[in-house]
Structure 1
Amino acid sequence: MTTDVAEGAGAIGAPALAGIDRRSAIDAVRMRIGMAISLGLLKPGERLPDQQEVALGLSVSPITARRALASLAEQGVVVRRRGRGGGTFVADEPPQAVLQELSASPAESQAVHRLVDRRLLFECAVTHYAAANASPGQLAELERLTGEMAASTNWSDYHQADERFHRLVAAASGLGTAVEAYNETLAELYGYFIPYPIELLHRSNRDHIALVAALQAGDVAAAVEVSRRHVDILHRTMFMGLAGT
């Protein structure tokens, strides 16, 4: 789920995330794909979206995505096939030694959860005010985006719609410069997004649908509770609890 977020703001190792191991944008993408494979979120033989979609789904530039995928191919983590039915696929037996290197450090894992806590505060605030201030046009667009996410067939398409959805909720709050702070936190957290199976993302979209219903009803308490639960789940799913947390 994505607008092309500047890599300096969203990439792992960005200065705003004090204490995190510094990584290049390319290494950050390599780690995020490698972790998804290690955690079984990307399966052997699974086809990745094309390079442009990988870039959009991971909020990096196309050249960063291309170089990261080329590096993973050189190491045997993914394989590239030409011709009809070609593309980039997870290797049948990715080298375990390489996958072990492509993991988040304890500092990175802790930073993710600090970001989730920060987002939780922002999410509840913007949702509270969106329930009171969202315009009919904004509500209609939010509902349309839930349909777009429901129709998504891969994690990249879903992630792009997901980002537009959450940024629109924030904009609907009318909280001015606080929306900018929210968007900055969202960009930092999306810098850690790893590919998830589309069926899990579709399940997450149920929260979006429930949130839109609460916003349409002007039910502040229900909307805030949906947002709280939605973000709280990140604590239990980001890196699946296996990355040094």
Structure 2
Amino acid sequence: MTAGSNDETVLTSTALAGIGRRSAVEAVRIRIGRAVALGLLKPGERLPDQNEIALGLSVSPITARRAMTSLAEEGIVVRRRGRDGGTFVADEVPRAVLDRLKAPADESAAVHTLVDRRMLFECAITHYATLNATPAELTELDQLTKKMAAARDWSDYHRFDRQFHLLVARSAHMDGAHPVYEQALEELYEHFIPYEIALLRRANDDHVALVRALEQKDLIAAVDIARGHVATLHNSMFMGLSDGR
């Protein structure tokens, strides 16, 4: 699912029977609701505008707008007008509403499967990127790490993160593998939830270290960094997380 998709789009990963059909709007509601329930979005925190939410969650603007309107009607977020206005996490979030905004229990297992699949791809493309990345590609990767370090919020960061990993894949110069990797990445990103920017910037340390390993053509270090970077996703950032994790 990508920005500009039709609002009636449903999540239907045929490879993962554990993830059921749901509207794109409901998926965004759950993703925002999970972030609030887990304390990743805090009471009173200002959210990006709707177009940025759409870009950060890889959905259409109309999907983001309808989801945020619904969350406002239910008291999860509040909208304020004026120069300092915008959309904010409510100071008092209705717990009963958050309790309803949960992915099915079997979705967590499906997300872990997606993480493991991406890990296999990530290690393979990193292997070949270490051997084949050009100086120009390495320079662009380094620039993207700087953009992530300066990202204003999770939406900004997520867009640069996506560009970074797709560029690593292109740097492998395995044209047949690139579309398969991109599909695996996008399927996993459908479960990304907003995360604290300070912690995302810490995750960017892995990107910086990976670029250094690619520059030095240190194959073992590069693959180990890539493996560890993806492995952490088993414990963070995705819709399958529960309050007790």
TM-score, length-scaled by structure 1: 0.94
Q: Deviations over 1:89-120 (max 9, x none)?
A: 00111111110111121221111100000000
Task: State how 1:1-245 maps to structure 2 within 5 Å.
Answer: 4=3, 6=5, 12-239=11-238, 241-242=241-242
Q: Deviations over 1:46-102 (max 9, x none)?
A: 000000100000000001000000000011110011111111100111111110111
State how far apart, in whole Å, the 2-side matches of 1:241 and 1:28 are: 14
Of the structure 1 ranges 93-102 and 31-40, higher mean CA displacement relative to structure 2 is found in 93-102
Cα separation, partners in 2 of 1:11 and 1:46, compared to 1, 3 Å: farther
Percent identity over the alignment is 60
- Indicate if the aligned counterparts of 1:49 and 1:156 stay in contact, CA closer than 8 A: yes
User: Which of the two has greater helix per residue?
Assistant: 1
- Aligned-residue offset at 1:11: 6.2
State how far apart, in whole Å, the 1-side matches of 2:5 and 2:228 are: 29
Other structure's SS at 1:89 match: strand
State how far apart, in whole Å, the 1-side matches of 2:3 and 2:49 are: 16
RMSD over aligned Cα atoms: 2.0
Of the structure 1 ranges 117-126 and 20-29, higher mean CA displacement relative to structure 2 is found in 20-29
- Aligned-residue offset at 1:7: 7.0
- Indicate if the aligned counterparts of 1:30 and 1:69 stay in contact, CA closer than 8 A: yes
Q: Deviations over 1:194-232 (max 9, x none)?
A: 000000000000000000000011111110000000000
- Aligned-residue offset at 1:4: 3.0
- Aligned-residue offset at 1:13: 4.0
TM-score, length-scaled by structure 2: 0.94
- Indicate if the aligned counterparts of 1:106 and 1:243 stay in contact, CA closer than 8 A: no
State how far apart, in whole Å, the 2-side matches of 1:243 and 1:22 are: 23
Q: Which runs of 5+ in 1 are unaligned?
A: none
- Indicate if the aligned counterparts of 2:3 and 2:61 stay in contact, CA closer than 8 A: no
Runs of 4+ in 1 over 6 A off after TM superposition: none
State how far apart, in whole Å, the 2-side matches of 1:60 and 1:7 are: 9
State how far apart, in whole Å, the 1-side matches of 2:89 and 2:197 are: 16
Whose RCO is larger (CA < 8 A, sep 6+)?
Answer: 1
State how far apart, in whole Å, the 2-side matches of 1:142 and 1:5 are: 26
Tell me how many residue pairs correspond in the alignment. 243
State how far apart, in whole Å, the 2-side matches of 1:48 and 1:131 are: 38
